[in-house]
Structures are given as structure tokens and as C-alpha cells.
Amino acid sequence: MRQHVIALVDCDCFYVSCERKDKPDLQGKPVCAVTTTSNKGIVLSRSKEAKALGIKMGAPMFQIKDQYPTCHYVPARYHRYAEISKEVMDTIKTFSPDVEVTSVDEAYIDLTGLNKAQNTTYTDIIKNIRKTILDKVGIPVSIGLSCSKILAKLASDKAKNNGGIFVIRPDKILDVIGDTAINDVCGVGRKNTINMQCNGIFTVRDFVERDNGWVRKAFGINGLSLKQELMGIATSLVENERDAPQSIQDTRSFEDFTQNLEFIRHALNGHVHTACQRMRKWNGFCSEIEVMIKTKDFKYYAMEAKLPNPTNSDFEIREAAQKVLTALYRPNLIYRSTGITLSRLAYGAEIQQSLFEETKPHDDKLSHLVDELEAKFGRGIIKTGG
């Protein structure tokens, strides 16, 4: 079986890095990107200097602006961040055509075979990618390299405290991550974590040393795929989205844990917009959504909602998603991430008609107009009410 070489490129403190790109005098200073500098604002991104002061992700401005007067608070400029994100992703694509953009500040890149084509090592290739992005775009990134997406993600987490790059070699996997808690692995949900721990699985090593038959029986085909990925066998390849997707997901961990519902709502709205834009590029319509929130201790809560009619409207999907979030949210819990999945997707003439009534997909002209304006002027150029 062909072994793949996959890297995950993750922009460091992305919003703050964008602000520092445009305002070099902020380099080395504590900086927070916030929704607004008024008392109603909350923290969206922090520099390492701001983290050192003790400022938390999602902290409200009315609490911190007087407590941390030396910090620089900058209103978030989403349109500018989208422009810089495109520069970063375009730069990544100059190294390989096989790039999967997963969020505004993160992308997988398949580097398989490029070491021979460029007569160099994979480590030197990712060093060059990191340097090129910094030189051309002015954004620092961390890059993890390994032979599967899950391992590349674990490597990128380690890269942030190891000079910006980290490699997990296929012959050193358990030496590097064997003692990693199984619930720290991307894709292991709350139910699986409980099931694994009940069966004596607490670390990556515990899991991969289990027999394939037992894993398949206990966790199904997805559990077996997870084991293969952790052993360096890529079962989920880098996808360029050449074919229309069956579902669209957008999610990302917060920079720090939070209990702030308004912060979580704001993050979810961003995920809805990103997912809907991707769907509209394919001329797609959504009939069902799933909203998820994950707690600090990796407990996973999700709830589905069916939509009255297939739609591509940000506004309709956002309204439905916020209702689901309200039902999921518990004020006594601390959260690490949220996200949305658009499912039961149909494209153009593929929309299935009901036997009893005509299904009328809502092709939202306003959302298309926002897409056009953002493509021309940058994300966030238009703010919606509500």
C-alpha cells in the first residue's frame, strides 16, 4: 500500500497575526482581537503575550479592559482576515495541487513524492513552506508532518512548542504519541471515549495494540479507520473537493475554553456562513443540519434539525442552528469547540419532490449577493442584523 505524506498547516493566533501584519508596531506586545472594543465586546484571538497576562478566550471587554490596560484591543476585521487567508492558501497551493482547506487558518497538503521531485527531504520542504508563507504573506504558521491526517494534526499541535514544525515518522509513532490520551485525538467523541475507558483504553498505545477484530466489533468500521490512521495508514485522504460533497462540516476548537454563550453563538455563526458559502459554490441546498458543541473534557453534544424546505440561505440556517445551540448549551459546562454539519444536500435538479406537496428550494438571492460582495471586497464587508 502506498504511504502518503501529509502536512497540516495551521496559522498561529491567526486574527492577531493578521493585525500584526498590517500594524508591525504590535509585534511583541499583548494583543487581543475582539468583536468590538465597547463593553459588549468579547475576545476572539490572543497573542501569546496576552495569554501570559491571564486573558481568557471569550473574556468580555467590560471585565478585562481595566484589569489589563497594557493590552492592545483591536476590533476584528473579518474581511481582511479572509483576504490574508486566501494569500496563505494560495501560497500553500504553489507547493502541491493537493490541498484541502478546512478553515480560514488551517489546511492539509499532500506532499507524497515531492521529496524525490525536489531532491530534498520532507522536513526541508515543510521548513520551506513555513518560511515562504512568513516571507510572502507575513503570517507565522505551525506545520505538522506525518503519514495520515490524524497524525499530522497531532504533529501540528506539538509544532507550536517546537519551533514551528514537528514530524512524526512512521517508524516512531508510538515513541512520540503512544502516551497521548486517547481523548486528545481528533475524531474521538464522548461516547467512544467512555467506551474505550471502560475497556481499559486510555492512551493511543492502548488503542492501537488492540486486535483489529475486537476494534471492529467494539467501534465499527470508523474505529478500525481510526486505528489505521494512528498507525500511519491514511484512510482519509486530502480532498480538493472536485466532486460535490455529500455533507459539509465546519468546526474548530476555540483558542481557549469558554462558558460565554455569546462567544459560542458568534463562533457558530461564522461556521454557518463558511459552510453555506461552500455549499452555494456547488449550487447546493440543505435539508438538515447538525450543531455540535464539545466540552473542555471532550464530552460531545450534538443535535439535528430538519429544515422546512431545502435552502442555501445563511439566515434560515443560522436561525435554525442558534435554536439548536440554545437547546444544547448548559451554563455550568466549559466548552472547547462548536461547529455545524449541513446534510441531506441536493444539487440543482437533484432535489427530490415530495409525494404529497411540491418541494420548493429556497435559492436565497441575498446570500448570493453577500458572496459576490465578499469575493470582491473581502469577508465581513456586510454585517447582518439580528
Grid cell of 375 as nine digits: 469575493
Q: What's the domain range around 317?
A: 248-377
Which residues on neighbouring strands pair with residue 249, listed in sequence order? 341
The number of CA neighbours under 13 Å toward the Cβ of 112 is 15
In a domain, 385, yes or no: no
Statement to judge: residues 298 and 224 lie in one domain: no
Statement to judge: residues 319 and 261 lie in one domain: yes
Grid cell of 225 as nine digits: 479507520
In a domain, 57, yes or no: yes
Q: With contact defined as beta carbons under 8 Å apart, do 111 and 5 qualify? A: yes
In a domain, 118, yes or no: no
Integer distance in angstroms from the first to the last C-alpha of the chain? Answer: 52
pLDDT of residue 378: 57
Rg of the chain taking only CA atoms, in angstroms: 21
- Pairing state between β 165-167 and 31-34: unpaired
Residues 183, 189, 194, 197, CA torsion sign: negative
In a domain, 88, yes or no: no
The residue out of 77, 107, 123 marking a domain boundary is: 77
Q: Report the CATH number at residue 60.
A: 3.40.1170.60
Residues 319, 324, 327, 333, CA torsion sign: negative
Grid cell of 337 as nine digits: 469547540
pLDDT of residue 214: 93
Residue with cell 503575550: 49
Which residue type, as a one-letter code, is found at position 87?
E
Helices 261-281 and 365-377 meet at what angle, rounded to 10? 90
Q: Report the CATH number at residue 254.
A: 3.30.1490.100
- Pairing state between β 141-146 and 165-167: parallel
Grid cell of 269 as nine digits: 455563526
Neighbour count for residue 290 (Cβ, 10 Å): 17
pLDDT of residue 354: 43
Q: With contact defined as beta carbons under 8 Å apart, do 143 and 126 qualify? A: yes
How many independent structural domains does the chain possess?
3
Statement to judge: residues 264 and 196 lie in one domain: no
The residue out of 60, 77, 94 marking a domain boundary is: 77
Statement to judge: residues 202 and 304 lie in one domain: no
pLDDT of residue 383: 59
Statement to judge: residues 227 and 255 lie in one domain: no
Statement to judge: residues 254 and 373 lie in one domain: yes
Q: Report the CATH number at residue 216.
A: 1.10.150.20
3-state secondary structure the chain: CCCCCEEEEEECCHHHHHHHHHCHHHCCCCEEEECCCCCCCEEEEECHHHHHHCCCCCCEHHHHCCCCCCCEEEECCHHHHHHHHHHHHHHHHCCCCCEEEEECCEEEEECCCHHHHCCCCHHHHHHHHHHHHHHHCCCCEEEEEECCHHHHHHHHHHHCCCCCEEECCCCCHHHHHCCCEHHHCCCCCHHHHHHHHHCCCCEHHHHHCCCHHHHHHHHHHHHHHHHHHHCCCCCCCCCCCCCCCCCEEEEEEEEEEECCHHHHHHHHHHHHHHHHHHHHHCCEEEEEEEEEEEECCCCEEEEEEEEEEEECCHHHHHHHHHHHHHHHCCCCCCEEEEEEEEEEEEEHHHCCCCCCCCCCCECCHHHHHHHHHHHHHCCCCCCCCC
Grid cell of 55 as nine digits: 486573558
In a domain, 21, yes or no: yes
Grid cell of 20 as nine digits: 500584526
pLDDT of residue 353: 45
Statement to judge: residues 222 and 305 lie in one domain: no
Statement to judge: residues 252 and 372 lie in one domain: yes
Statement to judge: residues 279 and 220 lie in one domain: no
Residue ranges for the chain with pLDDT beneath 50: 349, 353-358, 386
Statement to judge: residues 348 and 273 lie in one domain: yes
Statement to judge: residues 326 and 357 lie in one domain: yes
Statement to judge: residues 212 and 266 lie in one domain: no
In a domain, 180, yes or no: yes
In a domain, 44, yes or no: yes
In a domain, 140, yes or no: no
